[in-house]
Amino acid sequence: MPYEKKANKIFRYPLDHVYQSTIFCVNYMGGKIIKQDQEKGILFAQMDKKLFGKYLGDRSQLEIQFRDEGNSQTSMYIFAYPLNAVGQKLMFGAREGVVDTIISTLYQEMEKHLQDTYPS
């Protein structure tokens, strides 16, 4: 079973809004930003074992790339995987569905945050 997950989504907002929203949502979800460079369109985040008080079982790392698609649209590509207790990529023994839950929750929180912060 591959532990690495890939996801891609297009948001109908400018890159700056999507980038800032991602930082806000990662922090809101209990994660921390470990690397960021908005000019290069990259953001790395580590997520905790818990998500909104619910125990998921594994930490996760998200490596996110952003690309301006023009017409106020931004694509967001996520490469994610589980981490062990010392922050290394987990090669075996990961719990199923943890990384998928983190990615889908991040997308949901971002949609909500973008709509609330930058209404059309």
How many domains, the chain?
Answer: 1
C-alpha to C-alpha distance for 42 and 90, rounded to whole angstroms: 22
- pLDDT bucket at 59, cuts 50 / 70 / 90: very high
Residue-range definition of the domain harbouring residue 70:
5-89+98-117
* CATH number of the domain residue 33 falls in: 3.30.530.20
Span 88-96, average pLDDT: 86
Give the dihedral of Cα atoms 87, 45, 102, 31; nearest 10 deg: 90
- pLDDT bucket at 104, cuts 50 / 70 / 90: very high
**pLDDT tens-digit readout, 23-57:** 999 999 999 999 999 999 999 999 999 999 999 98
Token couple for 106: 């991040």
User: What is the pLDDT at residue 118?
Assistant: 86
